[in-house]
Amino acid sequence: MTERRLIDGILEGMALRSAAFIVTVYGDVVVPRGGVLWTGTLIEVCERVGISETLVRTAVSRLVAAQRLRGERLGRRSYYRLDASARKEFEQAAGMLYGAEVPSRGWQILHAPGIGEDEARRQRMGHMGGAVFIRPDRGQPAPEGALLFRAADPAELDRIGRFWDLSALHQRYVDMLARFAPLAQVGAALSDETALIARLLLVHDYRGVLLRDPRLPQAALPPDWKGHEARALFRSLYRQLSPAAERWIGAHFVGSDGFLPERTAESEARLANLTLAAA
C-alpha cells in the first residue's frame, strides 16, 4: 500500500472539519514549541488532508473571532498564536491525551437546574433525571449555580453506566481501531511527512472521542468496551510515529523566529508520559 493510499484510507469516513483540525495542529505541534505558526505552514499541512487554502483562511478568521487564535504580522507574513483564553482548555485536553489516567475518587452528584442536555454531554455528565446529573469525581469544580454532592462507589457499580448513552462513543472507538490498525504494521517505515500527517490524524480522531468520554470505572462499562484498546493503540502509534514526524516539524514548520524545534522539554515530557502510561 502506498503512503498516499494509507492516508486516504484513514481519511475515508472521517468527518474532518477545518477549524477542528487546525486546533489539533496547534495543540499537538505548535503549543509545545512556542505557540506561534506561520499561516503558510498551516495551509501546507491542511492541504495534505484535503483542506483548501480558502477553508483554512475562513476557519482561522472564525477562530480569531471566537478568541481561540490571535494574529500578528511580521513583514508580509501572518502568524497566529493561541489566544490566552484558550490556553487553559488546551492544557486540560493535553493532560487527558498525553498524561496518565487520573482515577476517579467516587462520584459527583449535581443538582443543576440551569444545565441542559447539550451542556451535560459537553461536561460528560450522566443524566439521572430532572435536574440531577452524575459524573466520576476527579476533583472537577461544580458548574456555576449547581449543588455538588460526593458519593463513594456503590455496591452495584455496574448499573451506573445506564445514565450515559455509551453506544455512539463505543462505535467511534471501534471505527478508530479499524481506521488506524494498518499503521501499526508500517508506522516506523513511513516518510517523515507522512508520519506527521498520520500522527495529526491519529490525535484528531482520538481527541474527538476522548473529550466526550466520561471515562467511567471498568465495572461501570459494557463488557465489550473498546476505549481501553483505543487508548493503547494511541499510545503505541504516537510513540512510533514521533521520531519521523518531529524531523518533519523541525525542517518545515515555521514560527516567528524561524523553524520550530524538533523537540522541546514539553514535547519530550509528552512522550515520556505516554511511555510510562503504556508500561
Q: Over the stretch 104-156, which tens digit does the pLDDT of each residue have?
A: 888 989 998 888 888 888 888 988 888 899 999 988 888 888 888 888 887 77
Same domain, 129 and 263: no
Question: d(Cα 272, Cα 44) in Å, to the nearest integer?
Answer: 29
Contacts of 269 (CB under 8 A, 6+ apart): none
Residue 156 domain-assigned (yes or no): no
Same domain, 94 and 140: no
Residue 246 domain-assigned (yes or no): yes
Residue 197 domain-assigned (yes or no): yes
Question: How many structural domains is the chain composed of?
Answer: 2
Same domain, 195 and 118: no
Same domain, 131 and 180: no
Looking at residue 272, its pLDDT comes to: 92
Nine cell digits for residue 78:
501572518
Residue 160 domain-assigned (yes or no): no
Write out the E strands in the chain.
Answer: 36-38, 69-74, 77-82, 107-111, 126-129, 132-136, 147-151, 254-255, 258-259
Same domain, 141 and 189: no
Same domain, 61 and 83: yes
Looking at residue 80, its pLDDT comes to: 95
Looking at residue 186, its pLDDT comes to: 78
Nine cell digits for residue 127:
443524566
DSSP result, 67-81: TSEEEEEETTEEEEE
Q: What is the CATH number of the domain that holds 199?
A: 1.10.10.10
Same domain, 72 and 121: no
Which residue range forms the structural domain that includes residue 223? Answer: 3-100+166-278
Question: Per-10-residue mean pLDDT for the chain, 279 residues long?
Answer: 87 90 94 94 96 96 93 91 80 86 87 84 87 90 86 79 89 94 80 96 94 90 93 94 96 94 94 80
Looking at residue 278, its pLDDT comes to: 64
Residue 65 domain-assigned (yes or no): yes
Same domain, 90 and 137: no
Residue 11 domain-assigned (yes or no): yes
Same domain, 83 and 182: yes
Same domain, 268 and 131: no
Of 151, 185, 217, the position where a domain reaches its end is: 151
Same domain, 137 and 261: no
How do 258-259 and 107-111 pair as beta strands? unpaired
Residue 157 domain-assigned (yes or no): no
Q: Which residues on neighbouring strands pair with residue 107, listed in sequence order?
A: 136, 151
Looking at residue 192, its pLDDT comes to: 95
Nine cell digits for residue 132:
440531577
Question: d(Cα 114, Cα 145) in Å, to the nearest integer?
Answer: 7
No. of helices (H) and no. of strands (E), the chain: 11, 9
Contacts of 22 (CB under 8 A, 6+ apart): 42, 46, 56, 59, 60, 63
Looking at residue 279, its pLDDT comes to: 59
Of 120, 151, 182, the position where a domain reaches its end is: 151
Cβ atoms of 219 and 160 closer than 8 Å: no
Looking at residue 89, its pLDDT comes to: 76
Same domain, 59 and 145: no
- Within 13 Å, how many C-alpha atoms sit on residue 183's CB side? 32
Looking at residue 87, its pLDDT comes to: 77
- CA 181 to mean position of chain CA atoms: 18
- CA 21 to mean position of chain CA atoms: 10
Residue 159 domain-assigned (yes or no): no
